[in-house]
Amino acid sequence: MAFAAPAKGLRADASAGNELVSANPEFTRDRWDPVPGYADDELGVSNPQHNLAPVEIKEPIRLLPTARELEVRRKLEKETLIALQKWDGVVLDVRETSFVARLVDVSGNHSDEEVELEKDELSPFDLELLEPGAIFYWTIGYRQLLPMGERVRESRIRFQRLPAWSASEIAAARERADAAARELGW
Amino acid sequence: MQPLANLAGRGARLSAPRPDELEISVFGPGYGESIAVHLGDGRWMIVDSCIDNRSERPAALEYFGDIDVSCEDQVAIVLATHWHDDHIRGLAEILRACSTARFACSHAFSTREFLLLVESPALGTEQLPAGLREFAEILAILKERRAAGNLLLGTPELVNQKTVLDQSARCEVMSLSPSSATVMEAVQAFATLLPEPSQPMKCVPSPKANEGSVALWVCGASGVALLGADLERNSKDDRGWGAVLGCAPLMKGRASLVKVPHHGSSTGHDQRMWDELLVSQPHAMLTPWELGGRHVPDAADRDRICALAPAAVIAGDTVAKLDRYQPAVERTLREATISRQAAIGRTGHIRARCTPSDKGQWRVDLIHNSQRLCAA
């Protein structure tokens, strides 16, 4: 049995000046509703309002954001991230605790660079995609925090997520390869 | 030994070689390494591609513009020694410009495994073209030629060990690699890169090994040169430089000029190549290369090469300068990276020429951004 935490402090939105915790209304609604038949002590929580009791949540608590939440978060991040530099990168070599990549300036104003980065710079999700040939996007910029407008320097690496090969796509590529061989007289 | 002439900054007008003059021009690093060979009588061969970082065009084409060589009519062969980004980028542009040139490449590239890699969507981004796209473009040019009825120019010349690429009264060009064993190995390497169902799509990386590289023996009436490509040493004698030594009986004499293999790295060094295929203290030319903080030639490579070829010269910047970013970006880069270096140094050009009257003595000119490798 899981219970929601008090709504006070959990609900947050950008307009109120707090960092957005969740944009999902299901996730942020007031849940401190009285539950008939349960005393506060039995529930093991401190009820700030004695006439209210926690409500039971039937779904398990989600630690990962939903797609909708991610979308809203990305939109908000886009609005507040001032990008100073963007690169496209390709992984050239993966070493024990680091990886080597070629960086190409997206603006075209700077020459290509080759860098060695710690694997620690990557999120666990991106780490799974780390292999030679993997493509990533690296942005360095300032994040403008609301409401006071503090600036935080930010480095963000995000790996390209591509669909998996299907058997039919591979079969089609094979047919094209055979056709190319015929066309070239091989 | 002839003194080096440095033409950089003199504003000297470059001229084309005489009809009987053999020329080996090495360009690099820019993005890659490339060689232009004058085969005699105004006919040329271009080996690999190097994108000049000033013009962002293939350096060999820029040079031909400077010396009034018509790419369309005078380039007879365009050769891809192997499939590595630093040798192939820009090769399709070269082949398109050299519309009467034959295209030559390793026999390994004619296999189904390689064609399947080329025909699988080679993913990248606008800024990061996948290496295979260059080959896809080359194959498209060849198909266009065949569709136009030009079967000779539309059929790639497949190179094995001992393939004669060009033969005339002035010069003969023969391949020293890849050996059959190397081709088999390359095909196996391609097979490991093939897409599998349910596997995520990715930008296909080029294989790490360079044993499949096409090394060349250029034998002219005036001099002999060995162009080592990125060919490496191998513990087995049927591949790498070991296999090349098996061709020694076919080679006439020894070479007095060498393009040092694999940017002078220790992996490209096989002492038997120096002892059995080259004259003592030959002219040596090379281009530098960097990857993830590993720079070649390093100090040990430099010492080794200079002991064997004291007049060795290197094209381009040995250490390329990094661009400066805004202070906040620089601070973040310092914190986030273990090492950082410019991927592209300024492109250099070294030119070696030799006429029959020179009796095998090459005249080496440092055209621009090139220098001696060894201390005087």
Domain that holds residue A9: 1-63
CB of B192 within 8 Å of any CB in chain A? no
B135 at the A interface (CB within 8 A)?
no
**Is beta strand B43-47 parallel, antiparallel or unpaired with respect to B75-80?**
parallel
Q: With an 8 Å Cβ cutoff, is B281 touching chain A? A: no
A 83-112 → B contacts, CB under 8 A? 84-85, 88-93, 98, 100, 102-106, 108, 110-112
CB A165 within 8 A of CB B199: yes
Mind telling me how many Å the CA of B73 is from chain A's nearest CA? 23
Digit-coded pLDDT (tens) for B87-146: 788 999 999 999 999 999 998 888 888 888 888 765 555 555 556 788 889 999 999 999
Higher pLDDT, B53 or B306: B306
Pick from A37, A63, A89: which residue ends a domain? A63
Whether residue A118 is found in the same domain as residue A153: yes
User: Could you check whether the bond before residue B297 is cis, i.e. omega within 30 degrees of 0?
Assistant: yes
Of A89, A92, A111, the CB nearest to B292: A92
Query: Domains of chain B, with CATH numbers?
Result: 17-194+206-354 (3.60.15.10)
Name beta bridge partners: B354: B22
Instruction: Tell me the C-alpha distance between B80 and A126, whole Å.
Output: 35
Residue-level length of chain A: 186
**Same structural domain for residues A42 and A95?**
no
Whether A93 and A152 map to the same domain: the answer is yes
Report the range of poorest mean pLDDT among A10-19, A26-35, A81-90, B264-273: A10-19
Res A22: pLDDT: 39
- pLDDT at B110 (0 to 100): 87
B residues 77-96 closer than 8 Å to A (CB): none
pLDDT of A169 above 80: yes
Q: What is the pLDDT of residue B277?
A: 94
Would you say residue B310 has pLDDT above 90?
yes
How many domains, chain A?
A: 2
Percent of chain B with pLDDT over 70: 88
The residue of B125, B137, B340 whose CB has the most chain A CBs within 10 angstroms, and thus the best one to mutate to test that interface, is B125
| B202: pLDDT strictly greater than 80 | no
Closest partner residue to B143 (CB to CB) among A115, A163, A184 is A184
pLDDT for the residue numbered B65: 94
pLDDT digits (tens, 9 = 90+) for B64-88: 999 999 999 999 999 999 877 767 8
Contact at CB, B200 and A98, closer than 8 angstroms: no
Domain for residue A68, yes or no?
no
Residue A186, chain B, CB below 8 Å: the answer is: yes
Degrees to nearest 5, angle at CA B286 with B285 and B292: 170
**What is the pLDDT confidence band of residue B207, given thresholds at 50, 70 and 90?**
low
Same domain, A89 and A118: yes
Contact check, Cβ <8 Å, B203/A134: yes
Q: Are residues A7 and A33 in the same domain?
A: yes
Domain membership of residue A75 (yes or no) is no
Q: Could you tell me if A145 and A119 lie in one domain?
A: yes
Contacts of B31 in chain A (CB under 8 A): 112
- The pLDDT value recorded for residue A164 is 79
pLDDT of A145 > 60? The answer is yes
Whether A54 and A95 share a structural domain: no
The mean pLDDT of chain B is 87
Cα–Cα distance for residue pair A143/A149, rounded to 1 Å: 9
- Residue to mutate among A114, A161, A182, with most B CBs inside 10 A, is A114
Angle between helices B112-119 and B131-147 (to 10 degrees): 100
Same domain membership, residue A129 and residue A91: yes
Span B237-271, pLDDT tens digits: 888 999 998 877 777 789 999 999 999 999 999 99
Q: A17-21, B58-62, B120-124, B231-235: which has the minimum mean pLDDT?
A: A17-21
Q: Do A53 and A106 sit in the same domain of this protein?
A: no
- Residues in chain A with CB shorter than 8 Å from the CB of B143 are 180, 183-184
Contacts of A98 in chain B (CB under 8 A): 338
Question: Alpha helices of chain A — where are they, by DSSP H?
Answer: 25-28, 40-43, 67-80, 124-127, 167-183
Mean pLDDT within B26-39: 89
Whether residue A179 lies inside any domain: the answer is no
Judged by a CB distance cut-off of 8 A, whether residue A130 touches chain B is: no
pLDDT value at residue B222: 86
Tell me: do A58 and A84 sit in the same domain. Answer: no
Mean pLDDT, range A82-100, rounded to an integer: 91
Q: Does B191 touch chain A (CB under 8 A)?
A: no
Instruction: State whether residue B195 sits within 8 Å of chain A by CB.
Output: yes
Look at residue A45 in the predicted model and tell me its pLDDT: 44
Instruction: Give the pLDDT band (50/70/90) at residue B3.
Output: very low
Single out the residue of B201, B207, B206 nearest to residue B121, CA to CA.
B201
Rounded to a whole number of angstroms, the distance from the CA of B4 to the nearest CA of chain A is 31
In this structure, the answer to whether residues A51 and A10 fall within a common structural domain is: yes
Contact (CB<8Å) B127/A170: no
Q: Decide if A180 and B139 are in contact by the 8 Å CB cutoff.
A: yes
Pairing between β-strand B22-28 and β-strand B34-40 as defined by DSSP bridges: antiparallel
Within the 8-37 window of chain A, which residues sit less than 8 Å (CB to CB) from chain B?
Answer: none
ipTM topping 0.85: no
* Cα distance between residue B307 and residue A75, in whole Å: 61
